[in-house]
Amino acid sequence: MLCTGCHTGTLAPSFIEGLFKAHTCSDCGGDWVLIEDYAVWRERHPDYEFAKGIYFEEINITDTKEAMLCPVTRTIMRKFKISATDTHRLDYSSAVGGLWLDKGEWELLVSGGLAGSLNALITDAWQRRIRQTNAKDSFVDIYHDKFGEELYIKIKEMREWLNAHPQKTDLRAYLMAEDPYSA
Ligand SMILES: [Zn+2]
């Protein structure tokens, strides 16, 4: 994986703190961390002290030269600053749930007691993703309970057929009208 930070190095598998998987750039020393791996680290450190009053502030990228691209998807990552410090920046790819930390950034976050607060950023994005999946699942359950298996399958098929039909608008109007034959 080519480094999108320095554009010259490659991202090779590594272990941050010997605890969680990351990829580290051979040239600039930046770290690419997946939130799954970070979440595992957090679980193993339940007693980690959160620094108080930390929040992440999204920086609006006006100059695309400031933007960093996600090494996986090559799309622009969101840039955040950590409010309490004003010096730390991190880039976040919501597409793959990956974080970019410049060289030494992780150590700085740890020494500043901020490493645990990455959670605030990550879990928020993470849970939004989980919530979306859950919402979809629970709607399936609701319809399933309401219609029963057979009817649910049938109505779902009808819906898919209707939505794929070139005359769907007219067909829907016909279907929904109380009396489609009245003026
Ligand atoms: Zn690099």
CA 70 – ligand 1 centroid, Å: 12
Q: Do 36 and 79 fall into the same domain?
A: yes
CB atoms within 10 A of CB 48: 14
Ligand 1 centroid to Cα of residue 78, in Å, is 18
Of 84-88, 141-145, 172-176, give the range with the top mean pLDDT: 172-176
- Ligand 1 midpoint to CA 2 (Å): 8
pLDDT of residue 170: 92
Q: Tell me the CA–centroid distance for residue 110 and ligand 1, in Å.
A: 21
Q: How far is the CA of 26 from the centre of ligand 1 (A)?
A: 6
69 domain-assigned: yes
* Residue 109: inside a domain: yes
Helix (H) or strand (E) holding 43: helix 35-44
Amino acid found at 128: R
H or E element, residue 138: helix 118-147
In a domain, 32, yes or no: yes
Number of domains forming the structure of the chain: 2
How far, in Å, from the CA of 65 to the mean position of ligand 1? 16
Q: Which residue range(s) make up the domain with 35?
A: 11-128
Q: What is the pLDDT of residue 92?
A: 87
Q: Assess whether 26 and 101 both reside in one domain.
A: yes
Q: Is 170 in the same domain as 94?
A: no
pLDDT of 142 over the 70 cut:
yes
122 and 39 Cβ atoms separated by less than 8 Å: yes
Asked whether residue 137 is domain-assigned, the answer is no
Distance 180 CA to ligand 1 centre (A): 65
Compute the distance from residue 98 Cα to the ligand 1 centre, in Å: 15
pLDDT given at position 115? 64
Distance CA 85, CA 125 (A): 21
Q: Are residues 15 and 89 in the same domain?
A: yes
Q: The pTM is what?
A: 0.59
Mean pLDDT computed over 117-142: 62
Pair (81, 115) in one structural domain: yes
> Where would I find the beta strands (DSSP E) of the chain?
11-16, 20-25, 31-34, 56-59, 78-82, 89-93, 98-101
Ligand 1 centroid – CA 91 distance (Å): 14
**Amino acid 131: pLDDT:** 57
State the DSSP code for 100: E
Find all residues with CB under 8 Å of 70, minimum gap 6, and list them. Answer: 4, 76, 77, 93, 95, 96, 98
29 and 74 in a single domain? The answer is: yes
CA 8 / ligand 1 centre spacing (Å): 6
Give tens-digit pLDDT for 2-60.
999 999 999 999 987 766 789 999 999 999 988 878 777 777 777 766 555 566 777 88
